[in-house]
Amino acid sequence: MMLKALSECFGPCGCEEEVRKFIIEKVRPYADRMMVDMMGNLYVYKKGASSEKVLMLAAHMDEVGFIVSDITADGYLKFKTVGGIDSRVLVSKNVVVGEKRVHGVIALKAVHLQTADERKNAVRESGLRIDIGAKTADEAKQCVKIGDYATFDTSCMPFGEGRRIGKAFDDRAGCAVLCDVVREKDLPYDTYFCFTVQEEAGCRGAEIAANRICPTAALVIEGTTCSDVSDVPAAMEVTTLGGGAALSIADRGAYSDKTLTQKLYALAEENGIAVQYKRTTMGGNDLRSIQRSGNGVIGAAVSVPTRYLHSPASVISEKDFESVKEIAKLFVMQAEELI
């Protein structure tokens, strides 16, 4: 399954090579042209019936992760997080580190050894280490080095009925959608499928990509927060798992084009595609960079609702994933009606 393979790729923010290589192999037969820029963004171009307008679909390849900042005398790895990760989800989680994909575990001293104050307070990143089984710094340096990246080590698998659990659904789910939609034929307009880098560090790759392409309209495919878990007030749920693709109205970085968003919502309903609105303005995605590029871009964002975002194990609904895919296809194939 495409989503499983993409989820399990090693691709922390700033180190997207493995993800990019995998995608290139999968989409090459459907591309009229491909290129990779200096930032590492991958552009997959398909010629449309008209060049009057240019479409851009974007999904980011990077995931949240870690970077090794020091190696202690007794062989532990100090690290910094790359992207927004809650330190409370890190303790005892499996990770892989560096080019050799060294297995490790995020270590904290056992509860039996903690003081009363330590047990009361949330763990901080600075108090954690990655244990790779080394006894000394020299032993650790034989397989890792300062500056190496690390990611969670989580398999993607079925979870309950019609759901998937895995890492990096933000935004490998979006990448999987693009890998499917790129197969569409007879596109009305020239279209770029853009797999961007460094979204988790400030939407950096998308800024370069949009200024290169100068699209008329763009659709960002994302994974977004889904907090419909026990004891969360309905007003804070953001999205509902199984409720369909989530269209954004606004977030901390972007304001989706109202007309385009409403048309996509209506078109989804007309075609029997499950759809919902994202119900908060928290977070952000590549649209913030894309819509402000050039002379401005008509833009919208559609997301796969994702429980436990930016954690070692996220959960999505296969129904929601398919709904996002169908809306992305509508954007491409019926663009004349939308923009």
The pLDDT score that the predictor gives to residue 280 is 83
For range 237-262, the mean pLDDT: 93
User: Tokens representing 155?
Assistant: 């398999």
Residue with more model confidence, 238 or 19: 19
Q: How confident is the model at residue 127 (pLDDT cuts 50, 70, 90)?
A: confident
The pLDDT score that the predictor gives to residue 154 is 96
pLDDT higher than 70, residue 282: yes
Same domain, 93 and 183: no
pLDDT higher than 90, residue 23: yes
Mean pLDDT taken over the chain? 93
Q: How confident is the model at residue 283 (pLDDT cuts 50, 70, 90)?
A: confident
The pLDDT score that the predictor gives to residue 121 is 67
Q: What is the pLDDT of residues 149-189, one digit of tens each?
A: 999 999 999 999 999 999 999 999 999 999 999 999 999 99
| 3 CB-contact burial (10 Å; exposed 0-12 / middle 13-18 / buried 19+) | buried
Compute the distance between CA of residue 276 and CA of residue 179 in angstroms, rounded to an integer: 23
Q: 235 is in which domain, residue-wise?
A: 2-63+167-338
**Among 87, 122, 152, where does a domain finish?**
152
pLDDT higher than 60, residue 115: no
Per DSSP, helices labelled H in 82-122 are 116-120
Same domain, 216 and 303: yes
Same domain, 179 and 189: yes
Same domain, 209 and 319: yes
The pLDDT score that the predictor gives to residue 110 is 56
- Residue 17 belongs to a domain with what CATH number? 3.40.630.10
The pLDDT score that the predictor gives to residue 108 is 75
Compute the distance between CA of residue 285 and CA of residue 162 in angstroms, rounded to an integer: 26
Q: How confident is the model at residue 238 (pLDDT cuts 50, 70, 90)?
A: confident
Q: How confident is the model at residue 109 (pLDDT cuts 50, 70, 90)?
A: low
pLDDT higher than 90, residue 112: no
The pLDDT score that the predictor gives to residue 281 is 78
For range 102-114, the mean pLDDT: 74
Which member of 199, 200, 207, 322 is catalytic? 199
- Cα–Cα distance list, 249 to 76, 255, 258, 280 (Å): 44, 6, 7, 9
- Which of 42-51, 131-140, 249-258, 328-337 has the least mean pLDDT? 249-258
Does the predicted TM-score (pTM) go above 0.85? Answer: yes
Same domain, 293 and 177: yes
Same domain, 287 and 217: yes
The pLDDT score that the predictor gives to residue 114 is 56
Can 322 be counted among the known catalytic residues?
no
